[in-house]
Amino acid sequence: MCCDLKRRFLLLYATQKGQAKAIAEEIWQQAGSHGFEAEMHCISEMDKYNLETEKDPVVIVISTTGTGDPPDTARKFVKRIQDTTLPPDHFAHLQYGLLGLGDSEYTFFCNGGKTVDRRLQELGAQHFYDTGLADDCVGLELVVDPWIDGLWLALREAFLLQKEKEGMSSNADTISSSLSAAPHDMDELNLSSEVRNLKLEDEGVRSSDVLSQKSVDIHLAASTRDTEPSLVHSVPPISQSVLNIPALPPDYIELEFQDTHGENPHLSSLISEGTAFEVPVTRAVQLTREDAIKTALLLELDIADTVFDYQPGDAFCVMCPNNVIEVEELLQILGLSEKGDYFVFVKVKQGTKKKGAAIPQHIPERSTVKFILTWCLEIRAIPKKAFLRALVECTSDVGEKRRLQELCSRQGASDYTRFIRESNVCLLDLLHAFPSCKPSLNLLIEHLPKLQARSYSVSSSNLYQPGRVCFVFNIVEFPTCPARPVSRKGVCTGWLAELVAPLLHANKNTLNAKGGSPSTEKISIFARPNNTFHLPADPSVPFMMVGPGTGISPFIGFLQHRQKLREEHRDWEFGETWLFFGCRHRDRDYLFKQLRCFLENGTLTHLKVCFSRDSSTAEVASPKYVQEVIRLYAKEVARVLLQEGGYFYVCGDKKHMADGVSDAVVDILSMEMEVDKLEAMKILAMLREAKRYLQDVWS
Ligand code: FAD
């Protein structure tokens, strides 16, 4: 029998964008139905828990930032456990299970979780459950869902072992006989989800076979003859399965519609990272030819009247609105077309069952409906299963309801991955596909994440162009696919492209082209907390830069800065500089042909360029990719890095490029130092640690 008393465990989360928190909340919610009670805290609330004296199992959910650091909320905690004076048995009493979240598009996958896990182990803490590492690139839920499912059994075992240690259980037989109760508990688990299913049926649908084995004939009417599954249509076995669907997340937001009087908050109030500056766009240049596969634009902003400051190598954030047409469409579906300009007062629903319910930080207490949909919510986000689960309740058509249940169920996990995650389906796509689904604005506020500002590397030098900051970006394009009949552009890059269209100069491909008439368009930007991607402090140190495509952007800033320093300090010694650049075609997307100027005036010592799609006329095929070019200069790379204490910078938008480059450098180190690959990898790790091998990679 299960014990009557709920068994307590400590649940800590360290979140950057809210995902770790949402997952911890899911664990917190499920805990009760498994006979546990989770005491949940943000890991930063160190006054509310004490690991030094903690006796119960600890569950930690922790995400990772793009640079591989633990989230800001975990900084203090990490600093504390990294105290080198702590003895190796400091946490010998502690049992824990850790779920790390990350994105394998970035180099230091799940590094936040790994760092904490490693350190807890070093301090003697024991795993009561294997560490899970979830990858946002393929879908967090692929690891998160089974990890949570397995957590309950692991916790049960941990408590039994704990009891045994405390002498409450006299011998090991008790443990094994108690453990054999687990399948019974699992039955309870299945039963409870069926009960939930039945409840669902009670609440919404009259049809008694909605979730039964015989539900095969209630798919979307139009698709009944289809044999292929799709977003809206399922086939056996899932269409015939009894479904385990997640519990309905409790609602917690209440809206009070007011009138149209008042002003929306300043965009600065939406960010926690300092001040946003509204600055004019003074120049826009299309760097690629019309026939290039991607369109790259350079924008110049006037920051002269602000205190916004930067160094070459910094990135900054652009606050972008959602697409106007998409916002209008949403308003229409929500039945709020007439109320877009109405102010709403956002409150936490009285008596909500949601633990720690609070108005999301990115939602102003009072603003218009349009403002919320335009500036606050990431309406393009891929809907999470909990959101789908909540949408079931707002859907009137029986077939649509069933399909939404399937998509959020355990049985429908692969359909979810295929038709939602991999197809990058967003809320609007769903609402078009399931027309009887009519969610409320509160539900959107509860489930859609914050509309994040987009980061861009500066592509200029404050010495070279005082009062100006430039950046370069590709307009992101998403073609149509079966789940989405319309093509789309990236939220930010699509908006920027539209905004600056009147400014674009006919003379493309030239950095120094003067734009058209002065612009009145303004955008809001704010500084991105710093990174280490800066020029070496000592100008006499040599450095190499690898930046294919728009990855060249920060290096333009480096070179402009270096040129100015050389002009101003003729007596200084300057180390040699290398730039490896690559693009598809010499004529169409060679972004900065004036790199030659840097070469001619001596700012750049070596420029190595490759074109991946131009056919080679030479007898020996020329290298297509930067990583291949680097290999041709193995001796120089080894000399700069190993003998001359130089720096190596990599920047670009493709994980494969960055990995390809580091593979090439490992091979070079291995060859030039005559050491095996493992040793070479260690040397590269040391160079990274010493901040002499630096990456600025985005997906
Ligand atoms: P979004 O709408 O955010 O879409 C981008 C991503 O969403 C896609 O890559 C894809 O993963 C996914 N996605 C969304 N919908 C779909 C769909 N329907 N189909 C397929 N995929 C979809 N970018 C630059 O161009 N230049 C820079 O200098 C630069 N510097 C950066 C520096 C840093 C530190 C970081 C973190 C990022 C940088 N980026 C840079 C990337 C930049 O921040 C944006 O991510 C990029 O411009 C796309 O933004 P967007 O809003 O236009 O696209």
CA–centroid distance, 424 to ligand 1, in Å, is: 13
DSSP, collapsed to helix, strand or coil, labels residue 281 as: strand
Q: Atom 31, ligand 1: which residue's CA is nearest?
A: 456
Domain 272-320+452-506+520-531, architecture per CATH:
Beta Barrel (2.40)
**Residue of 320, 493, 654 to test ligand 1 pocket, by largest number of atoms within 8 Å of CB:** 493
Q: How many Å apart are CA 508 and CA 591, to the nearest integer?
A: 10
pLDDT of residue 613: 65
Q: How many Å apart are CA 295 and CA 515, to the nearest integer?
A: 17
543-697 matches 272-320+452-506+520-531 in CATH topology: no
- Going from the first residue of the chain to its last (699 residues), give the mean pLDDT of each consecutive group of 10, the final group possibly shorter: 68 89 89 90 94 95 85 91 93 95 81 94 94 86 88 92 67 38 36 33 32 33 61 92 87 93 91 88 89 88 95 95 97 95 95 86 94 97 93 96 95 91 92 96 95 94 95 91 83 96 63 52 88 92 94 95 96 96 72 81 92 62 81 94 96 80 94 92 93 88
Q: What is the pTM of this model?
A: 0.75
CA–centroid distance, 698 to ligand 1, in Å, is: 8
**Residue of 380, 651, 653, 698 to test ligand 1 pocket, by largest number of atoms within 8 Å of CB:** 698
Under 8 Å between Cβ of 17 and 452: yes
Q: How many Å apart are CA 186 and CA 34, to the nearest integer?
A: 9
* Burial of residue 676, with CB atoms counted within 10 A of its CB: 0-12 exposed, 13-18 middle, 19 or more buried: exposed
pLDDT of residue 589: 59
At 554, which amino acid appears?
Answer: P
**Residue of 16, 419, 476 to test ligand 1 pocket, by largest number of atoms within 8 Å of CB:** 476
Nearest atom in ligand 1 to the alpha carbon of residue 66 is 36
Residues, the chain, total? Answer: 699
pLDDT of residue 637: 95
And the tokens for 121? 């182990």
Q: Atom 14, ligand 1: which residue's CA is nearest?
A: 424
Under 8 Å between Cβ of 388 and 404: yes
Q: Atom 26, ligand 1: which residue's CA is nearest?
A: 473
Cβ atoms within 10 Å, residue 62: 30
CA–centroid distance, 65 to ligand 1, in Å, is: 16
Helices assigned H by DSSP within 476-584: 491-500, 553-568
Q: Atom 44, ligand 1: which residue's CA is nearest?
A: 454
Q: Atom 32, ligand 1: which residue's CA is nearest?
A: 456
Q: How many Å apart are CA 144 and CA 154, to the nearest integer?
A: 15
* Burial of residue 671, with CB atoms counted within 10 A of its CB: 0-12 exposed, 13-18 middle, 19 or more buried: middle
Q: Atom 45, ligand 1: which residue's CA is nearest?
A: 454
pLDDT of residue 621: 58
Tokens 């930010």 belong to residue = 492
Choose among 194, 338, 317, 197: nearest CA to 260: 338
Phi, psi of 351 (to 5 degrees): 75, 15
**Residue ranges of E strands in 594-676:** 606-611, 647-652
Nearest atom in ligand 1 to the alpha carbon of residue 296 is 25
Q: How many Å apart are CA 113 and CA 62, to the nearest integer?
A: 6
Nearest atom in ligand 1 to the alpha carbon of residue 320 is 51
pLDDT of residue 288: 86
CA–centroid distance, 550 to ligand 1, in Å, is: 12
CA–centroid distance, 549 to ligand 1, in Å, is: 14
Q: Does domain 543-697 have CATH number 3.40.50.80?
A: yes
Q: Atom 6, ligand 1: which residue's CA is nearest?
A: 490
Cβ atoms within 10 Å, residue 458: 23
Helices H / strands E in the chain, number of each:
20, 22
DSSP, collapsed to helix, strand or coil, labels residue 323 as: coil
**Residue of 288, 314, 473 to test ligand 1 pocket, by largest number of atoms within 8 Å of CB:** 473
Compute the mean pLDDT over every residue in the chain, rounded to the nearest whole number.
85
Whole-angstrom CA distances from 555 to 302, 312, 470, 654 are 20, 8, 12, 17
CATH number of 233-261+323-351+360-450: 1.20.990.10
pLDDT of residue 180: 37
Tokens 């979730």 belong to residue = 211
Nearest atom in ligand 1 to the alpha carbon of residue 423 is 19
CA–centroid distance, 303 to ligand 1, in Å, is: 24
Question: What would the DSSP string read from start to end of 564-604?
Answer: HHHHH-TTS----EEEEEEES-TTT----TTHHHHHHTTS-
Nearest atom in ligand 1 to the alpha carbon of residue 699 is 9
* Burial of residue 373, with CB atoms counted within 10 A of its CB: 0-12 exposed, 13-18 middle, 19 or more buried: buried
Q: Does domain 7-163 have CATH number 3.40.50.360?
A: yes
Q: Classify 141 in phi/psi space as left (phi over 0), alpha (psi -120 to 50) or beta.
A: alpha
DSSP, collapsed to helix, strand or coil, labels residue 441 as: helix
Q: How many Å apart are CA 332 and CA 350, to the nearest integer?
A: 28
Q: How many Å apart are CA 483 and CA 433, to the nearest integer?
A: 8
Determine the longest span between alpha carbons in the chain, in angstroms. 87
Ligand 1 residue neighbourhood (C-beta within 6 Å): 66, 315, 380, 424, 454-457, 471-474, 476, 478, 488, 490-494, 550, 553, 698-699
Q: Atom 12, ligand 1: which residue's CA is nearest?
A: 424
Q: Atom 29, ligand 1: which residue's CA is nearest?
A: 456
Give me the residue spans of the domains in the chain.
7-163, 233-261+323-351+360-450, 272-320+452-506+520-531, 543-697
Q: Atom 25, ligand 1: which residue's CA is nearest?
A: 473
Residue 372 CA, chain-centre distance (Å), reads: 21
Asked if the peptide bond before residue 237 counts as cis, ω within 30 degrees of 0, the response is yes
Q: How many Å apart are CA 15 and CA 62, to the nearest integer?
A: 6
pLDDT of residue 666: 95
